[in-house]
Amino acid sequence: MTAYSTQNVVNKTPALSGHGLSKNRTCLHAKSGTISTWAAGDTLAVGYLPRGAVVTSAVLKAASQLDSNASPTLALDLGVAGTAQLFKSAVTTVGHSSGASADATINAGGLLYANATSNDDTTGSDVEVIVTVHTAAATPVAGTLEVLIDYFVEDATATTP
């Protein structure tokens, strides 16, 4: 198993937690460097969601084919540390055909996922977003992944009315 990181993680880019009128939306966007193995269990650390982040969408994209076998087996998960399949589970639509491919569906459990233990959570911390190779590529091809997660930051309140 190999662990890769995007520039967000390498450069320790802080999670954006901007507040504002109508809970302004922001996003976590990252592109991987070239990955060539696509072995089961490999992980890509994408970046971080801040405390209070509420996820509204998630996109996983391959710039090119990542498994060139006639019967490709590559499957990818997208989630957070501790819950690897939160947003996407065993996606097989990304990286199987020549050219760019993407998946914009999101698991029901990941839609409106809130990085907080309750509405008045003031003690939480940033959570790492990861891509995991669920099933290895039958014939791996070097390529890159891109991840886009849209979210807004919910204000933590000390009391609930």
Give the model confidence (pLDDT) of 79-133 as tens digits: 999 999 999 999 999 999 999 999 999 999 999 998 876 555 556 688 999 999 9
The total number of residues shown for the chain amounts to 161
**SS3 per-residue string spanning the chain:** CCEEECHHHHCCCCCCCCCCCCCCEEEEEEECCCECCCCCCCEEEEEEECCCEEEEEEEEEECCCCECCCCCCCEEEEEECCEEEEEEEEECCCCCCCCCEEECCCCCCCCCCECCCCCCCCCCCCEEEEEEEEECCCCECCECEEEEEEEEECCCCCCCC
Q: What is the pLDDT of residues 39-72, one digit of tens each?
A: 999 999 999 998 888 899 999 999 999 999 999 9
Better-predicted residue by pLDDT, 19 or 33? 33
pTM: 0.85
Each domain of the chain, given as residue ranges in start order, spans: 23-118+134-153
Predicted pLDDT at 85: 97
